[in-house]
Structure 1
Amino acid sequence: MIGRRRAIAAAMLPVIAATPGASAFAPGVPAESGFPADLAERLEAGFRSGLLRPLHGVVLARDGRILLERYAPGPDQVWGRPVGDVDFGPDTLHDLRSVTKSVTALLYGIALARGQVPIPDAPLHAAFPEFPDLAADPARAGITVRHALTMTLGLRWDESLPYTDPRNSEIAMEQAPDRLRFILEQPVVAPPGARWTYGGNATTLLGALITRGTGRSLPDFAREALFAPLGITRFEWHARGPGAESAASGLRLTLRDLAKIGELLRTGGSWDGRPVVPRDWLAATATPAIGIEDGLRYGLHWYLGAHRAGGAAHPWIGAFGNGGQRLWSLPAAGLTLAIFSGDYDQPEAWMTPTRIWREIVLANLRLG
């Protein structure tokens, strides 16, 4: 749930002057950043105070230019397996955890535009004909792909327990002989569309539809359809076994490459002027489907909120992951913030990245 996923040695990396004709995400500081000149020092003050200690990395960009980039060494994990202390930097791969869910939803939108996956309003069980007994259940007849995209399936699911606990629904799913049957046979506890229930079950179903429709594994499809156009050449996607990649939590990227995903949201799905994610899919993604906790709303596998300034509400779109992994995009301000953190399975992991977003970025942002 959001509330659960709610003295650094490395010096701030120098910014790099933008090169004419470079990628739309060229590091560098524009002449007018819209932030105070001492923004970097304000971030450093947060580190010196100890309030930002769990962070592994921060990248803040505006209008395609990196304004701040800061890394810190610390203990890390790879899909739940401790790997000891890591000296993080621009080339270090890091777990996205549940930010993976939002990336998977972008892949679904690309596959949908190619006619390779069911439309959102298609009956969900029709896409899984190997379970005729479940498809015949009248209580499940109204479940559609859209309910998976909005996490409103109406099926029992509980990820409130730690991810080290086998009773956690996602862990139980990963250990089940058949992940898809485990998801689809869960008891119906609410009408589809009526209740938001956070869970990797919905994303696992989307991942299965992508792999079935495209005839390719998630990593292979992601490499061709999303990562290659963005110049992302290094990534990992963890799996329970061959062909069983975790669509919900298995992706690892560098922080700069995660920020590129945020840039796609800022530009309406284009990179260097070429469409990558359909603009209409991003528009649907940013359309609230249901209200959720903490006063936020949820679209198609992305969190939605607003920054209020100058008497107006400026919508943002975000992706959140266990341990404090975060990606925010505020398109009206041309803003992208990407954060890696090591607070895995800690109830207050949301606090540090949210403090940076609200108190360092938004509080110092000049709009207009």
Structure 2
Amino acid sequence: MAERVDAVLREGKAPGFHGLVVMRGGEVVLERYGAGVDHRLGDSLGHVEFDWDTLHDVRSISKSVVALLYGIALGEGLVPDPDAGLVEQFTQYPDLVADRERAHLTIEHALTMTLGLDWNEDAPYTSTANSEIAMEFAPDRYRYVLERPIVEEAGKRWIYCGGATALIGGIIARGTGRPLEEYAATALFEPLGITGFQWSKGSDGLAMAAAGVRLRPVDLAAVGQLVLDGGRGIVPAEWIEEMLRPRVTIQDGFEYGYQWYVDTGERHSVQGIGNGGQRLLVAPGEELVVAVTAGEYDQETGSSAAVLDAVLND
């Protein structure tokens, strides 16, 4: 494995590569770090020499972290079950709560990104043509998502939606009575020995649930190991099982659970995936966790794919 990874890096096949941590059987078996221009949610950090202690945006792997936090809060009785009504959790919007056309929406629809609302993240994440960026510029992120036009029946089709994760983050914050990042620190990260994380915030001061987490690659791998280990009492085991159950098809052999991707092909895995080449892959049958960070934001993510192929092609 190490020889294949080193060959990929030496031959320039992963020019945007920033970091790699591989764990097998609960132990770190390979680490590699690179260098290059990096960004924090679009703000340039200049040229960075990465090492084991360098924080990195994990972008939309943040969504998978939020799913873990929801499961912890659910186990503590602080948030409703997934089949509870979604809009009714946001009592600050009585007009939306009273809207019968939205009454059928559930928290599960948000967890599976099947809200059936008008949402498009195909535009670059530097433009308000992208619905997630428009949400960040809106006066109220939760209202912005909840009042999107209904375009189809909920629960039928997966549409990538950072707004869905924002709503889940809001439900967690309300249920726990704490900002999302503070609850994450004590409920998830500190029990894993992770103390140096960051969670970027929007202009409203709220943690950006869909994309704001910054972790060291070794800590990202630790999150994956937690999932592989069935939660270890930090996250309820029954929630890990529910979270990773395929619920909606994205394409043949590739499905979605609760904020996690599920590869149901011959080599089963579950994954968190983030813009720019951020990947967290957990392969239960192989006792394998792979965390990759890269800097190919809003680009084709060839670097992380090349590194992952080198790790997986035994």
Q: For this structure pair, what is the TM-score category when the shorter chain's length is used for normalisation?
A: over 0.9
Match of 2:72, SS state, is helix
Aligned to 1:214: 176
Aligned to 2:74: 112
Match of 1:208, SS state, is helix
Q: TM-score, normalised by structure 1?
A: 0.83
**1:360 counterpart = 2:313:** no
Q: CA deviation at 1:293?
A: 3.5
Question: In the aligned structure 2, how far is the partner of 1:131 from the partner of 1:209?
Answer: 14
- Pairing of 1:97-246 with structure 2 (within 5 A): 97-241=59-203, 243-246=205-208
Aligned to 2:243: 285
Match of 1:268, SS state, is coil
Residue 187 of structure 2 aligns with an amino acid whose one-letter code is: A
Q: Give a deviation string over 1:145-169, Cα, whole Å, max 9, x none.
A: 0000000011110000001112110
Alpha-carbon spacing, 1:242–1:131, altered in 2? closer, same or farther (3 Å) = closer
Q: CA deviation at 1:134?
A: 1.7
Aligned to 1:297: 255
Q: CA deviation at 1:241?
A: 3.9
**1:345 counterpart = 2:298:** yes
The answer to whether the Cα contact below 8 Å between 1:307 and 1:362 also exists between their aligned partners in 2 is no
How many residues are matched? 314
Q: CA deviation at 1:278?
A: 0.7
Question: In the aligned structure 2, how far is the partner of 1:353 from the partner of 1:73?
Answer: 14
Q: Which has the larger radius of gyration?
A: 1
Larger mean Cα displacement after TM superposition, 138-147 or 317-326:
138-147
Match of 2:182, SS state, is helix
The answer to whether the Cα contact below 8 Å between 2:66 and 2:168 also exists between their aligned partners in 1 is yes
**1:333 counterpart = 2:311:** no
Match of 2:31, SS state, is strand
Q: Give a deviation string over 1:158-215, Cα, whole Å, max 9, x none.
A: 0000011121101110000111111000000111101111011000000000110001
Match of 2:29, SS state, is strand
Q: CA deviation at 1:218?
A: 1.1
Aligned to 2:230: 268
Q: CA deviation at 1:286?
A: 1.2
Q: Give a deviation string over 1:26-81, Cα, whole Å, max 9, x none.
A: xxxxxxxxxxxxx2111111112211111100111100111110000110001110
Unpaired runs of 5+ residues, structure 2, are none
The answer to whether the Cα contact below 8 Å between 2:120 and 2:130 also exists between their aligned partners in 1 is yes
Match of 1:292, SS state, is strand
CA RMSD between the two structures: 1.2
Question: In the aligned structure 2, how far is the partner of 1:111 from the partner of 1:241?
Answer: 26
Question: In the aligned structure 2, how far is the partner of 1:307 from the partner of 1:338?
Answer: 20
The answer to whether the Cα contact below 8 Å between 1:217 and 1:243 also exists between their aligned partners in 2 is no
The answer to whether the Cα contact below 8 Å between 1:117 and 1:209 also exists between their aligned partners in 2 is yes
Residue 259 of structure 2 aligns with an amino acid whose one-letter code is: H
The answer to whether the Cα contact below 8 Å between 1:265 and 1:331 also exists between their aligned partners in 2 is no
Match of 2:113, SS state, is coil
Aligned to 1:63: 25
Q: Give a deviation string over 1:283-329, Cα, whole Å, max 9, x none.
A: 01111110004641000000000452xxxxx5211000000000000
Q: CA deviation at 1:243?
A: 4.1
Match of 1:352, SS state, is helix
Q: Give a deviation string over 1:194-240, Cα, whole Å, max 9, x none.
A: 11110110000000001100011111101110011100010111101
Q: Give a deviation string over 1:5-29, Cα, whole Å, max 9, x none.
A: xxxxxxxxxxxxxxxxxxxxxxxxx
Match of 2:268, SS state, is strand
Identity fraction in percent: 49
Alpha-carbon spacing, 1:44–1:294, altered in 2? closer, same or farther (3 Å) = farther
Alpha-carbon spacing, 1:328–1:279, altered in 2? closer, same or farther (3 Å) = same
Match of 1:85, SS state, is strand
Aligned to 1:250: 212
Q: TM-score, normalised by structure 2?
A: 0.97
The answer to whether the Cα contact below 8 Å between 2:63 and 2:210 also exists between their aligned partners in 1 is yes
Residue 304 of structure 2 aligns with an amino acid whose one-letter code is: P
The answer to whether the Cα contact below 8 Å between 2:20 and 2:292 also exists between their aligned partners in 1 is yes
Question: In the aligned structure 1, how far is the partner of 2:253 from the partner of 2:265?
Answer: 13
